[in-house]
């Protein structure tokens, strides 16, 4: 497959995704609405009682915004989009028609990942722009982040949401079920992973959790208070790459071998 065909196929996958209005709308709601609500509530609290509540913006606003967008809601948007990209062809029953073109199944799988990332990152960048706007608008005299920190925060947000989105593509291709993939991945992201991270008796085994690997790359400390888990850069990178590679490989294997 040459670059022209790869670009065309990625464009076709992106077309399928961006025209799926329900998915796009929910991803936008999940990524953007919490940011708006967060700043609205914090700004309201601050204006009502400045002594008890600090400003919504400033550096602490960026820290909270990153926690909200990069660790909580952005990944959920990524899961919705990734699951749609991974299982959309099978769900619509058109995967066999793509196979009949003679194009390799691995190529059909591979082009879904950049398409999903393109849509996911577009939405996440829009949400991050809101976070940055809120950080400055609601700073109320408190220190504001430097341009470097803002770009590092963006990089971390894209890394976190992108990895989870790509994992969702692989997992959905493995299960061939959008609904099952979304349920399982959101359950993992919101419930299982945080619970495991907080079971101290698991000790350093918790370092193998994807969330712990990703947290290492945050430009600001986003770990829960009292967390003693510290990963080296090499280990954090290895954890992230293993999770990503494992699910991409499983999705590719299933796409290559399944009856269609």
Sites of contact with other proteins (CB under 8 A): 4-5, 8-9, 11-12, 15-16, 19-21, 88, 92-94, 96-104, 108, 259-260
Nearer to other proteins, 108 or 209 (CB): 108
Q: How far is the CB of 26 from other proteins (least distance, A)?
A: 14
Nearer to other proteins, 233 or 259 (CB): 259
Among 12, 174, 177, residue whose Cα is nearest residue 91: 177
Contact status, residue 38 vs residue 119, Cβ threshold 8 Å: no
Q: How far is the CB of 114 from other proteins (least distance, A)?
A: 13
Q: How far is the CB of 82 from other proteins (least distance, A)?
A: 17
Nearer to other proteins, 96 or 126 (CB): 96
b/e for 130-168, b at 16 or more Cβ within 10 A? bbbebbeebbeebebbeeeebebbbebbbebbbbbbbbb
Q: How far is the CB of 72 from other proteins (least distance, A)?
A: 28
Q: How far is the CB of 177 from other proteins (least distance, A)?
A: 16
Nearer to other proteins, 101 or 201 (CB): 101
The tokens describing 66, both together, are 């990153």
Backbone angles phi, psi at 142, to 5 degrees: -80, 160
Nearer to other proteins, 14 or 150 (CB): 14
The tokens describing 139, both together, are 């700073």
The tokens describing 250, both together, are 């499983």
């Amino acid at each position: 497959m040459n670059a022209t065909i790869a670009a065309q196929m990625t464009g076709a996958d992106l077309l399928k995704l961006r025209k799926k209005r329900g998915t796009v709308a929910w991803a936008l709601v999940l990524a953007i609405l919490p940011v708006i609500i967060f700043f609205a509530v914090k700004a309201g609290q601050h204006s009502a009682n400045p002594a008890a509540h600090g400003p919504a913006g400033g550096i602490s606003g960026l820290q909270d915004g990153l926690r909200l967008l990069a660790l909580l809601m952005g990944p959920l948007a990524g899961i919705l989009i990734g699951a749609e990209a991974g299982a959309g062809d099978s769900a619509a029953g058109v995967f066999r028609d793509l196979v009949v073109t003679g194009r390799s199944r691995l190529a059909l799988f591979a082009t879904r990942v950049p398409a999903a990332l393109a849509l996911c990152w577009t939405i996440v960048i829009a949400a991050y722009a809101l976070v940055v706007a809120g950080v400055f608008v609601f700073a109320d005299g408190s220190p504001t982040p430097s341009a470097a920190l803002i770009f590092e925060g963006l990089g971390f947000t894209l890394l976190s949401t992108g990895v989870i989105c790509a994992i969702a593509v692989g997992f959905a291709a493995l299960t061939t079920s959008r609904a099952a993939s979304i349920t399982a991945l959101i359950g993992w992201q919101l419930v299982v992973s945080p619970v495991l991270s907080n079971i101290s008796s698991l000790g350093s085994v918790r370092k193998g959790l994807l969330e712990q690997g990703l947290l290492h790359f945050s430009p600001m400390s986003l770990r829960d208070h009292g967390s003693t888990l510290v990963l080296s850069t090499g280990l954090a990178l290895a954890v992230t790459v293993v999770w990503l590679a494992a699910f991409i490989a499983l999705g590719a294997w299933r796409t290559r071998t399944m009856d269609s």
